[in-house]
Amino acid sequence: MADPLHQFQIQKIVELPTVEVAGIPIDLSITNSVLAMMIGTGAVLLFFLFATARTAIIPGRMQVMAEGLFGLIDDLAESIIGDEGRHFFPFIFTLFLFILSLNLVGMTTYFTATSQLAVTAALAVLTIGTVIVVGFARNGLGFFKLFVPSGVPWWILPLIVVIEIVSFLMRPITLSLRLFGNMVGGHIVMKVFAGFVVALAGLGIGGVIGAVLPLLSVVALTALEFLVAYLQAFVFAVLTCVYLNDVVNLGHH
């Protein structure tokens, strides 16, 4: 049976020189992870290029899909953040489409970039970094009110402040691990069951009959994994809206 972890191995596709930035060597080579992100980004751009090329009052299939995705995230941002959500819609929509495209690329054609902790961690740090910048830009030092909930008795307030700070610092960790864990776990399970099908089919007629059950399991898991690919992108967008709402509407915290 093939190693189920082999599918996550980083391999260089195009060898490029290593450069140093502030004394830190950075390898500019294009890996399968980078190529998957390029494919995902290109697919999104092409999709919206064709979807908006011939807009009509009576939309076609691609226009309906594009408008549906647009409306989904627009309504999400407005429902969580309020009227100010429109200001952050481009950022949230880009995150959602990028993660969704990477998940789908991994399910259909190539490498799953979101199975790499470095990728999910970078997205999480970008999100929390944006929250911090927006928090200070809109509230100044009042940003620290985020860690001091109102209505808390004074004698328990120091403990609550510590808990709030730790909770905030854990946000990028939970964001990255949630996406990473779901994509890795699902792909490993699919690979294991697919290995059962191949191994049993090689045992003869009896093995072929016995391979029917794991084959049906692979089909069901594949459908489930497509759902997970969408849900993980959507959950990431939801949490981004929630975190932005904390600093945008800090006065209601």
The residue ranges of every structural domain in the chain are 6-248
Give per-10-residue mean pLDDT for the chain (253 aa). 76 85 83 92 93 79 89 93 90 96 88 92 96 92 87 87 93 94 89 82 75 85 92 96 91 63
Residues 6+ apart with CB under 8 A from 5: 188
**What is the model's pLDDT at position 20?**
81
Among the listed residues 44, 40, 64, the one whose alpha carbon sits nearest the alpha carbon of residue 54: 64
Task: Measure the CA–CA gap between 167 and 62, rounded to whole angstroms.
Answer: 41
**What is the model's pLDDT at position 29?**
86
**What is the model's pLDDT at position 253?**
54
**What is the model's pLDDT at position 2?**
63
pTM of the model: 0.90
Residues 6+ apart with CB under 8 A from 189: 221
**What is the model's pLDDT at position 211?**
78
> Are 2 and 191 contacting, i.e. CB atoms less than 8 angstroms apart?
yes
**What is the model's pLDDT at position 93?**
96
**What is the model's pLDDT at position 186?**
87
Residues 6+ apart with CB under 8 A from 253: 145, 146, 149, 150, 246
Distance of CA 207 to the CA centre of its chain: 39
For the chain, how big is the Rg over CA atoms in Å? Answer: 22
